[in-house]
């Protein structure tokens, strides 16, 4: 069995988190693009939730990165 490189795994996990965050932000923008005046408020609430989720993903990724840099 080949040994696993933990640094490579962590980099892949971080990249996946950043991509998921980007897709959530892109989805929020697309959601508001097609909004009509009668459902603008509902779609705005969902877009806000998607942006908040993206912020949480990035904050968690940054926190994990900071912990990995501090610990040897």
Question: Which residues in 15-35 are b (16+ Cβ under 10 Å) and which e?
Answer: eebeeebeebbebbeeeeeeb
Residues 51, 25 contacting (CB under 8 angstroms): yes
What are 10-23's pLDDT values in tens digits?
Answer: 667 778 888 888 89
Return d(Cα 8, Cα 61) in angstroms, integer. 15
Residues 61, 14 contacting (CB under 8 angstroms): yes
Band the pLDDT of 38: cuts 50, 70, 90: confident
Q: What pLDDT does residue 6 have?
A: 63
Band the pLDDT of 32: cuts 50, 70, 90: confident
What are 41-70's pLDDT values in tens digits?
Answer: 888 899 999 999 999 988 888 887 777 666
């Amino acid at each position: 069995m080949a040994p696993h490189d933990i640094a490579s795994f962590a980099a892949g996990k971080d990249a996946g988190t950043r991509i998921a965050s980007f897709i959530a932000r892109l989805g929020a923008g697309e959601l508001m693009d097609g909004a009509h005046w009668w459902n603008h408020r509902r779609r705005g609430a969902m877009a806000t939730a998607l942006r908040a989720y993206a912020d949480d993903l990035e904050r968690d990724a940054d926190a994990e990165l900071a912990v990995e840099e501090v610990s040897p």
